[in-house]
Amino acid sequence: MLLRVIHETLFDYVPAVKTAQHVAHLRPCETPLQKVLQHTLTITPEPAQRSESVDIYGNLRTFFSLQSRHEELKIVADSLVMTSPPPSVASVLTWEQVREHFRYRRGAVYDPAAEFLFASPYVPRHQNFLDYASPSFTGERPLLEAARDLMTRIYTDFTYETEVTEVSTPALESLELRKGVCQDFAHIMVACLRTMGLPARYVSGYLLTEPPPGHPRLVGADASHAWVSVYVPPAPGVADSWSGWCDFDPTNNRGPGEDYVTLATGRDYSDVSPIRGVIHGGANHTLDVGVTVVPLDREPDVMLAPATAS
């Protein structure tokens, strides 16, 4: 699919902000299934300084600073992305075999996916996650089958509700509430997988706003979305066995397809938040966010809506 993504962010400050420094993750990433054909990032007022770099997880980030007083900050990311459907993947590895693969052994070959085994700012290790995950991870069950079962249980057991949690709501609290948005569901699934000793990462991105005729509208459209990747290592002794990251969306109980756009990946939301920064002034401010994802042959009408954690 050829998709146009417009992500518009508007801050209003009272009193005015005197100086500010921000970092943005707003350029979709390049993957084997996704190619960025065009991308522009427009910032108003014009930053005094601006630079780009690639973070440790391969995401492109933009740093910018504002050195003059401003009562409003408007950021518009406009991207044209070509996506492809993911291939069918299969692995003979059980979840126990994957856990053993990543168990520390002196002199073992380092696997970069091991970075996603540990607790992170939004995803702690806790017995409650182990208790919730355990029914899906029965003895000698294939990893991908167990992860799919966990995804389905989260989809079934939790209620999507936009006003019960915030960006800063701890995953443990969301687990207890059994309510939240896609960010919460992704954090819970990542926490469950890591607690089982399995590498899992947080994925931020977008959904197609208007689905094709005959297809249901997905939860989380018209906002930033989040889902989960679990890592599958090569099967020992099996020639040309598939290995890599496999995606799961617990909010919609499905694997992401060509109607998804990946923005960035990290340990949790703190690594990939679309905009964050430090400001001097602006003690009271409001934030409005509008996201639209449409096929190229349709021109979207972008309207700002109150921001929600999603």
Q: Report the alpha-carbon distance of residue 107 to residue 46 in Å, rounded.
A: 51
Instruction: Convert 153-186 to b/e letters by CB count within 10 Å (16 or more is b).
Output: bbbeebebeeebbebebebbebbeeebbbbbbbb
Q: What DSSP designation does 48 have?
A: S
Per-residue pLDDT tens digits for 86-143: 988 888 899 999 999 999 888 888 899 999 999 999 999 999 999 999 999 999 999 9
Q: Which residues are within 8 A (CB) of 41 and not within 5 positions of it... i.e. 6 or more apart?
A: 24, 26, 27, 62, 75, 76, 77, 78
Pair of tokens at residue 57: 């997880």
Between the CA of residue 306 and those of 72, 168, 286, what are the distances in Å? Answer: 16, 17, 9
Between the CA of residue 51 and those of 41, 47, 69, 225, what are the distances in Å? Answer: 12, 10, 21, 26
| pLDDT over 80 (residue 210) | no
Where residue 218 falls among pLDDT bands split at 50, 70, 90? low
Q: What is the pLDDT of residue 65?
A: 97
Per-residue pLDDT tens digits for 24-42: 999 999 999 999 999 999 9
CB atoms within 10 A of CB 231: 23
Q: Which residues are within 8 A (CB) of 203 and not within 5 positions of it... i.e. 6 or more apart?
A: 186, 226, 227, 228, 229, 247, 256, 262, 264, 265
Per-residue pLDDT tens digits for 147-196: 999 999 999 999 999 889 888 888 999 999 999 999 999 999 999 999 99
Cβ–Cβ < 8 Å for 202, 192: no
**Spans of all domains in the chain:** 2-84+272-306, 95-269
pTM as predicted: 0.90
Q: What is the pLDDT of residue 90?
A: 82
| pLDDT over 80 (residue 209) | no
| pLDDT over 60 (residue 221) | no
Q: What DSSP designation does 58 have?
A: S
Q: Which residues are within 8 A (CB) of 10 and not within 5 positions of it... i.e. 6 or more apart?
A: 72, 73, 74, 75, 287, 288, 289, 304
CB atoms within 10 A of CB 90: 11
Between the CA of residue 118 and those of 130, 142, 203, what are the distances in Å? Answer: 14, 22, 16
What SS3 class is residue 143?
helix
DSSP bridge partners of 43: 75
% of residues, the chain, pLDDT over 90: 75
Residue 208 or 203, more confident = 203
Chain mean pLDDT for the chain = 90
**2-84+272-306: which CATH topology?**
Immunoglobulin-like (2.60.40)
Cβ–Cβ < 8 Å for 175, 133: no
Q: Supply the CATH classification number for the domain 95-269.
A: 3.10.620.30
Per-residue pLDDT tens digits for 234-253: 888 776 778 899 999 999 99
| pLDDT over 80 (residue 78) | yes
| pLDDT over 80 (residue 198) | yes
Q: What is the pLDDT of residue 255?
A: 94
